[in-house]
Structure 1
Amino acid sequence: MRASTALAFAAGVSAQYSEWLLPANPGGAVPAGVKTPSTSGFDNPTIQPARGGLAVCVSGTVSVEASTSRNLKFTFELPQNQSQVTNTFLKLLSNPSPFAQELVGGTQSVSGTYEIGVTLCTPANNTTPDQVQLLTHGIGFDRYYWDFAPGYSYVDVAAQYGHATLLYDRLGVGKSTKADPLNVVQAALEVEIANILAQKLRAGAFSSHAFSTVIGTGHSFGSIITQAVTSQYPQAIDAAILTGFSANSTGVAPFTLALNLAIASQNQPYRFGALNNGYLVDGSATASEICFFHAPGFDPEILSLAEATKGTATFGEFFSISAVTRPAANWTKPVAVINGDEDLAFCFGNCSAPVNKAEAVFPLLYPRAKTTGAYLARNTGHGLNLHYSAMEAYHYIQEFIGKNVR
């Protein structure tokens, strides 16, 4: 299914879920007469439509002053070559792993002012909703995971339901600051940045509009960050949508090894040549397919696009990826978990056996949540947004939000 066909499919699926649909405008300029978000609060702003034209967006950078005392201190020096990178992950993921036990030497405080690449999108019908979704992408992508291609745009479907979205590049990715990849770009600091972005949305820092309702939506590592916000800062967001996520870690080691992690500056020198050896990418399109896709549920052209536009990750992120997840003991607001049924990273390839691993999240991490939802997309791998099933999953999420978040 090509992207144009997928867009037509998306329109058909949409009719099953919502009576209010905006006309599609795939690509191109913002249509005449459509009001765009204000550029207030953005540095170097640009205006553009979402991939399918159902939302209008302003992109730029914003300065975020963030600090944490929870970043980890590692007894580790960055590898000098690819062989050392490969050997590092073999040692880290062996079982048992003395290397993993000896890696962490306590915690450290980090602080700074970081430039974060952001995009704010509102429906292309001259409205500015009071509700916004804060979209946090996972490892291997940048912010455009959420607005990937016509027919694969979460932003477009959210706009159909009258929802604004703020998608951003995590620290160290895309247009965001490329900070120290070992000591600074770690999970704990990224949780602080997500929390601050939520506060800025409420305070009217973007487009001079204060959103009264902020929903945290994540994918994979972005879901880990969002879940940590619900645990550490439960007042920051009004609902949580966790995609590509579970409380099961059995698939993490094979997933990480299958990424065949490569030094970014060597793998894609034209894009990442200025980065040091602490910045990594998946090694090939084959590695990307194993980790993020599940055949025959995707278009090979989408796999090629994902490989061509892949984002970086850091040693600090891989070493701290499990350091921030803990039960959200005080969380009573809505939370939903949405996975591909063949997710490798968080389900080891089977999200429905021996239990539904999406549903299993709630008693473990959200014991007081009153409203929950679980959805497994059929024939779908870890990169949920890149499959034919994405549109149905998107609509499930928007329907869940519409019914349960006020």
Structure 2
Amino acid sequence: MRTFTLATMLASGTSALTIPLLGSLTGFKDIPVLSLSQGGKAQCYSGLIAVPVTTTGNTQLNLNLPNNQSSVTDIFTQYLTSTSTLVQTLTGPDATVSGTFNIHAKLCFPLLSLPPLVTPPTVQFLIHGIGFDKGYWDFAPGYSQVDAAAAAGYATFTYDRLGVGLSDHPDAVQVVQSPLEVDIAHALIQMLRKGNLLGTKFGKVAIGGHSFGSIQSVGIASRYPDDVDAVMLTGFSLSSASFGLTFAAFNAALANKNQAARFGALSNGYLVTGSPQSNQMAFFRNPNYDANLFNADDNNKQTFTFGEFFTLGKVVAPATSFKGPVDVVNGQNDFIFCQGDCLNPSDQNAPVTGALFPAAGGKCSTFMLPGAGHALNLHYGASQMFAHMNNFLKSNGL
């Protein structure tokens, strides 16, 4: 068995670690980069994966790219106007999109427990939300579902959604839309189930989403119910009442102007939140987070597209054929899905499973993280949420 030495990587202070390498490096376009998770509990392989995919669910949007920031602001002003017909004006028929897209992903295993020694039976397939990349799930020591999952014996798969981070950035209006992203996720899940990544076949897949990632998770369970064995939704409820407030708070800015050094080559269809204040209002609840994590997140804020904005909820439909267990997790003070209070007028976690997963089985559960805003993973107490999610899977035999 081949070995690879990682020098000065262990947070514990160990100067080197000899890690057994997998017998197969299939699935990645190049030799994947080997690294440790933030807390050193998992060993990870990351790189680009070429994903051929076709979707028939995108929408032909009658929207030209805005010429400047004033035009961007005007689009959102029109959208938020009380008598707005913007969505109806822009929305055309369904559209087919085909292509092979490069998706940057990271597959992690519990430290020293990877194949061919041990194959974790379940992989957690984790999808980040708008404004983040895959690092949301492995942000810092103590703020990492990747670490917590590895400590509990799970593999994790995280990736930059299309149009985000190190993945491809195609047409931001007609291509990077919610339906295509659901089909990309489906293709990636099939790779994991069939052993097409690192020669490792997973018998069970538990999907976990955050925010838009949870919307995607609902879409996957609805359209491809056999893809996943359990669903974990975080930063999600049935209410869209504060979506308008959220996008007003975003103060959407052209990514290529607001973050020119990072996104200067992108088209005017790629957007970011306009300021640190925008990020705080939408994602964080003061004072229940570490200011250093907030600054790190704001410095690494990620793009979203007009295509995503106008197709956010298109994939949401009851997953009537999904029969696995469902877990719903929110921060008590989530702004985006609860307008700052997920207990008003009652527990907003409670109705989700019955409404969207009527055939759910097993031991379904909910969890509310006290004092947390929308970006739960970056708030104090995140480790409680990670433990809850892993215990939910354990209680269902996954």
TM-score bracket, normalised by the shorter chain, equals over 0.9
Where in structure 2 are the equivalents of 1:153-302 lying within 5 Å?
153-302=144-293
The Cα shift of 1:78 comes to 1.1
Give the TM-score, by structure 1 length: 0.92
1:93 deviation in Å?
2.4
Equivalent positions of 1:5-404 (< 5 A) are 25-26=10-11, 31-36=16-21, 39-44=25-30, 45-127=32-114, 128-370=119-361, 371-404=363-396
Matched to 1:180, the amino acid is D
Report the TM-score, using the length of structure 2 for normalisation.
0.93
Aligned-residue sequence identity (percent) comes to 42
Q: 2:3: which partner in 1? A: none
| Paired residues of 1:27 and 1:49 also in contact (CA < 8 A) | no
Q: Name the SS for the 1:32 alignment partner.
A: strand
Q: 2-side partners of 1:288 and 1:79: how far apart?
A: 23
- Residue 367 of structure 1 and its aligned partner are, at CA, apart by 1.4
Residue 39 of structure 1: how far off its partner (Å): 3.4
Does structure 2 retain, via aligned residues, the 8 Å contact 1:27–1:51?
Answer: no
Please give the alpha-carbon distance, in whole angstroms, between the structure 1 residues aligned to 2:210 and 2:12. 25
Aligned length, in residue pairs? 383
Deviation for aligned residue 1:171:
0.4
Q: Secondary structure at the match of 1:87?
A: helix
Q: Check 1:192–1:30 CA distance in 2 against 1; reply closer, same or farther (3 A cut).
A: farther
* C-alpha distance in 1 between matches for 2:111 and 2:16: 9
More helix by share: 1
RMSD (Å) for aligned C-alpha atoms = 1.5
Partner of 1:174, secondary structure, is coil
CA offsets 1:87-145 (integer angstroms, 9 cap, x no match): 11111123332112212011111110000000000011334312101111100011111
Distance 2:348 2:21 in 1: 40
SS in 1 for 2:342: coil
Contact 1:158 1:165 (8 Å CA) reproduced: yes
Q: Distance in 2 between matches of 1:28 and 1:210?
A: 33
Please tell me whether the aligned partners of residues 30 and 48 of structure 1 are also in contact (alpha carbons under 8 angstroms).
no
Deviations 1:279-326 (A, max 9, x none): 001111111011100011101111100011111110000110011101
1:332 deviates by 1.4
Whichever residue aligns with residue 390 of structure 2, its letter is Q
- Whole-Å separation in 2 of the counterparts to 1:305 and 1:90: 30
